[in-house]
């Protein structure tokens, strides 16, 4: 199946959503290339970036589930190059 590389930018403003977010990221872990999380304590938020290599429907599903979490915002930037995903 054709895959793309994408980057998700995630802002967590509600600490109660941290555990559900981590569960989602674990569920999609086979597609995640890398993750960087920065707790910004002065503002009481966390900034997370996720690099992912997956089919478009998988990326969209994860982004939608993350965006439905209370106090969590997500934006996704997609590469234009499609390739075969190595399962």
Q: What is the DSSP string of 5-72?
A: EEEEEEEE--GGGHHHHHHHHHHTGGGEEEEEEEEETTTTEEEEEEEEEE-HHHHHHHHHHHHTSTTE
Specify burial of residue 82 (Cβ count, 10 A radius: 0-12, 13-18, 19+).
middle
pLDDT in tens, 64-86: 999 999 999 999 999 998 888 66
Phi, psi of 84 (to 5 degrees): -80, 130
Query: For the residues 13-37, what does the mean pLDDT come to?
Result: 96
Whether residue 42 is contained in a domain is answered as yes
Q: Is residue 87's pLDDT more than 90?
A: no
Whether residue 86 is contained in a domain is answered as no
Whether residue 84 is contained in a domain is answered as no
Residue 20 sits in a domain whose CATH number is 3.30.70.1150
pLDDT in tens, 45-69: 999 999 999 999 999 999 999 999 9
What's the domain range around 14? 2-79
Phi, psi of 42 (to 5 degrees): -60, -30
């Amino acid at each position: 199946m054709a895959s793309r590389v994408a980057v998700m930018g995630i802002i967590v403003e509600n600490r109660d959503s941290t555990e559900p977010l981590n569960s989602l990221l674990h569920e999609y872990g086979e597609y995640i290339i890398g993750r960087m999380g920065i707790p910004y304590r002065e503002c009481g938020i966390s900034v997370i970036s996720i690099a992912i290599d997956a089919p478009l429907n998988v990326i969209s599903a994860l982004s939608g589930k993350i965006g439905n979490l209370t106090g969590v915002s997500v934006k996704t930037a997609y590469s234009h190059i499609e390739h075969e995903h190595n399962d």
